[in-house]
A = this chain, B = another copy of it.
Amino acid sequence: MSDQNAFLTIALNTWKTNIERADKLFSSFSDAQLLKDVAPGKNRLLYVFGHLTAVHDRMLPLLGFGQQSYPDLDAAFIAIPDKSQANIPSVQQVKQAWKDVNQKLSEEFARLSPADWLQKHTAVSEEDFAKDPSRNRFAVLMSRTNHLSYHLGQAILAPK
């Protein structure tokens, strides 16, 4: 392992560890529990789970891996706040999408070289990237790993 890869390897392991924590935590809840609020009056567990899934799905286009797979999750769990519409995707749909999206990300991550991680993400223009080369894929990885931790901290509070 070269020194250059060492930072990236650890960052990728941190992502993987957090995905595994989320797998374990969300599968520890029953379907009925997933429909409960994480704390009274706050988002439901299913909303948090769906939100994480939708945000990870959006990482596919953001990192240049192709289109997002589940635009319906985006519509239900990013575009609108929880409890603002009666029909949202089911627990089974979210569980399946969560698994699928993270599997896709994992496969794409494995294909990237360290230099690929330092290339721009797709939400920044060439011009802005030239001014600030830290707006790259690796910054997205850092940001989304912390986003996952943030919501895991909330999900763990939900009543069992």
Judging by beta carbons under 8 Å apart, are B1 and A4 in contact?
no
Number of residues in A with C-beta < 8 Å to the partner?
Answer: 37
Determine the distance from Cα of A146 to Cα of B14 in the docked complex, in whole angstroms. Answer: 9
* B-chain residues with CB within 8 Å of residue A27 when the two chains form the complex: none
Judging by beta carbons under 8 Å apart, are A134 and B39 in contact?
no
List which A115-154 residues lie within 8 A (CB) of chain B.
115, 117-118, 133-134, 136, 138-139, 142-143, 145-147, 149-154
Judging by beta carbons under 8 Å apart, are B157 and A1 in contact?
no
* Among B6, B7, B8, B38, contact of A157 (Cβ-Cβ < 8 Å): B38
Determine the distance from Cα of A127 to Cα of B145 in the docked complex, in whole angstroms. Answer: 30
Question: A117, A138, A149 — which one has the most chain B CB atoms within 10 A of its CB?
Answer: A149
Does residue A13 face the partner (Cβ distance < 8 Å to B)? yes
Does residue A33 face the partner (Cβ distance < 8 Å to B)? no
Judging by beta carbons under 8 Å apart, are B10 and A157 in contact?
no
Determine the distance from Cα of A85 to Cα of B42 in the docked complex, in whole angstroms. Answer: 29
* Among B1, B115, B142, B150, contact of A11 (Cβ-Cβ < 8 Å): B142
Judging by beta carbons under 8 Å apart, are B6 and A134 in contact?
yes
* Among B8, B9, B146, B154, contact of A154 (Cβ-Cβ < 8 Å): B154
Asked if A147 meets B146 with Cβ closer than 8 Å, knowing A7-B4, A139-B10, the reply is no
